[in-house]
Amino acid sequence: MEAINPKAARYEFRAERDAAGVPHVHADSWRHAVYALGYLHALDRPTQVHFARAVASGVASERIANKPELLEMDLFLRRAGIHLRLEQEASVLQPQVVQQIEWYCQGLNDGMLESADAWIGPTLPMWVTGYRPAPWDIESVMLIGNLLSFAGLAVGQQEAERQLLELIQLGMDSEHLRELFSPYLDGIDLEPLRDIHLSRRLSDEALELLSDLPRLAGSNAWAVSPARSDSGGALLASDPHLEVNRLPAIWYEVALNWGGPDDIEKEYAIGATLPGCPLMAVGRTRNLSWGVTYMHADTSDYFIEDCRPGGQTGWQYRRGEDDWRDFRVRTETLKPKGADPIELPVYENDVGALALTPEQPGKHLSASWIGSQRGGGRAIGTWLDVIAAGSVREAMDAVRESPHPSLVWVFADRAGHIGSQASGWLPRRRPGIGGFTPLPAWDESNHWLGVVPGELLPCEYDPPIGFVASANEELYRKDGPPLHAFGLADYRKRRIVQRLTELPQATLAEMQALQYDVTSLQAADLLPVLLAHVGDCPLKRRLEKWDRRYNLESTDATLFMHFYRHVLLEIFGHDQGIGWRRMFYLTTRMGFSRMVLTAADRMLRKVTSSWWRERDKGEMIRRAAERAAAEPEQTWGQINRFHFVNRFFGASMTGRLLGIRKTETPMPGNHATPFQGHLLQTATREATFAPSYHFVTDMTEDVAHSNLPGGPSENAFSKWYQTDVALWTSGRYKVLSPDAK
């Protein structure tokens, strides 16, 4: 054990690191434990905390560096306004929530005093950029909470809906388009959508920056009842999926212990926390364990505004046939380093904010996010309530009305109960209206009607099957309507359910193996369909024998991926379809679109279709097979590999000179397997999407088993910088206990 000696702490606590560098805190009260958490976040992750706030505030190009992608993100987030009304939201928080956040902020600010004394080390990126952090406060915590919700969930949905609009405006054949995205375009008049003025989509560089921020975008989580458990206790497994190739890891693992000398049984909380917030996204206490997955829910809509110049603010919008009203205008001033200030006028009304400053009259997009509505700030209290909950039922009640992000929580408790609960505000729309395409805002019947009541969100409690599972699959309200704007494939969820069904007495080792499972039900579904059109040949014989697993040593996995991509390009990449260049981008590059690939997978299973009415489906698949067979023979590990790089210096010359760019790391799995080892790569950039934390626990014990792609420290010269990387890459777990023994 290595003692941590806090030099600037105003409250007493004891902390020590275990063999993996994970801090274990011992405090006499929950107040001092939360204070210690803030202190440790500042000690080990000062740059991550403060740089995230700078980006969320829209001042990254001013405070960090005047880079094009930072300025682009500043403009985008300032227009979105996630930095607005934080003080108002803080003023309506419950007093006990305010107290806990204040304790955390005190700890973080005191810890920064100690970090600031290290001229080189924890604060090296701040020193290089000349960054001077301001004190951390309640508004800072709430801003990181907004970023967590908006950056991964709302932005991903907005980008997908923009992709659809681009396809419509490119003149893609309407019959092809409607069939590809059926039933979501049923009854939608596409012609008005062709005339909308679209802003430029976020660049690949900005999207890469977005993936580097605190967010929730995908995950697996499941719980197993005592009846199906080898130990006779409830089991829980959770692995949130995010970018993993940048160090430090997004999550900060910690063990908090609290209780006075007279307490017979001290309390604890162990798991993954988010630097900048007093929240534990995945973890457990003595009585409860939890994990979360992104609920693929429709929390953001585009509307169409009919705009014209005029009025007191310069631009007006229409309601009804001829009722013109003035936009409100909010001016955001950006001050990029070494450049002239930029004035950004944001035109908004009660529906949303224009996505583009208008330059000519006509139809413009307006964006609305449910998380920006009054009361959204109380979401931070939900995470604290979960730590305090003593049972699954109590935790489900605590999260049900949480404003954002939209999540599926999975719980298990010491008494043997398991459950899942969807949470997050969802816009209530008039019957028959979805959020897949923008609707005219001048027709006020299209406006939101409030928030979907929490009691209509799906949940399960001690189901007869003996387990609950979630993996970003489609979900529906209890009264019928879908929670999503467009469908996503359920390959991971089905594979998890398949394995749990096969395990009558599940063990922790089997839960860990399932987190590293690389069996693809996508391949299992599609290969019989595709190979039926291919004559006897080496490719067909190999893929028929393939076990559908994306192991590092598998050459058949590589062959199938080549085959699959060539099929997509042949069938959907022609001139009357999506187009070859765009389809290539959507299937292999930073623009990878789950929306398009899910639609394409469903289409490939059809016997008849407008997509192959005038072109023979079998002939296209055979051409794809010939092209795939001509690809170089490589193992999956040879093509699905990435570099671990520093989150702040990346692959820059500085990073290479400092020796903080690791050699290539092969990664198993792909986007359709439980271990979602997904790589997005161009000639100059790498981005990953994979399990960012593995956590498994048995509620009969007071320990968990975990690993993550990184370590506690953001300091590239610290021995705690990448302590878990070897465990993560090899599928091994360490024991995480409250007392570090």
- Residue 392 CA to residue 377 CA, distance in Å, equals 24
Cα 233 versus chain centre, distance: 30
Query: In a 3-state reduction of DSSP, which class is residue 592?
Result: coil
Please pick, among 61, 140, 219, 713, the residue that the annotation labels catalytic. 219
Give residue 114's identity as a one-letter amino acid code: E
Neighbours of 487 (CB within 10 A): 19
Locate 136 and state its tokens. 């951390």
Sign of the alpha-carbon dihedral angle for 497, 279, 19, 741: negative
Would you say 547 is a known binding-site residue? no
Largest CA distance in the chain: 81
For residues 483 and 426, the answer to whether their CB atoms sit within 8 Å is yes
Beta-carbon contacts of residue 207 (< 8 Å; ≥ 6 apart): 159, 590
- The CA distances from residue 279 to 13, 34, 394, 487, in Å, are 19, 10, 18, 30
**Helix, strand, coil distribution of the chain in percent, nearest 5:** 35, 20, 40
Query: In a 3-state reduction of DSSP, which class is residue 105?
Result: helix
Query: In a 3-state reduction of DSSP, which class is residue 76?
Result: helix
- Residue 550 CA to residue 557 CA, distance in Å, equals 5
- Residue 727 CA to residue 732 CA, distance in Å, equals 5
DSSP codes joined into one string, 513-570: HHHT--B-HHHHHHHHHHHTTS-SSHHHHHHHH--SB--TT-HHHHHHHHHHHHHHHH
Tell me the sheet residues that pair with 255: 24, 270
DSSP class of residue 133 equals P
Cα 664 versus chain centre, distance: 24
For residues 335 and 324, the answer to whether their CB atoms sit within 8 Å is no
713 is catalytic: no
Where on the phi/psi map is residue 187: left (φ > 0), alpha (ψ -120 to 50), or beta? Answer: left
For 68, phi then psi, to 5°, come to: -55, -40
Locate 215 and state its tokens. 């967010």
Give residue 218's identity as a one-letter amino acid code: G
> What per-residue string of b and e applies to 115-144 under the rule 16 or more CB within 10 Å gives b?
bbeeeebbbbbbeebebebeebbbbbbbbb
Would you say 117 is a known binding-site residue? no
Q: Is 535 exposed, middle or buried (0-12, 13-18, 19+ CB in 10 A)?
A: exposed
Would you say 301 is a known binding-site residue? yes
- Residue 152 CA to residue 158 CA, distance in Å, equals 10
Locate 497 and state its tokens. 């359910």
- Residue 672 CA to residue 265 CA, distance in Å, equals 44
Q: CA angle, corner 709, sides to 487 and 125, nearest 5?
A: 105
- Residue 735 CA to residue 71 CA, distance in Å, equals 43
Residues annotated as part of the active site: 219
Residue stretches of the annotated binding site for Ca(2+) = 159, 298, 301
Known binding site: residues?
Answer: 159, 298, 301
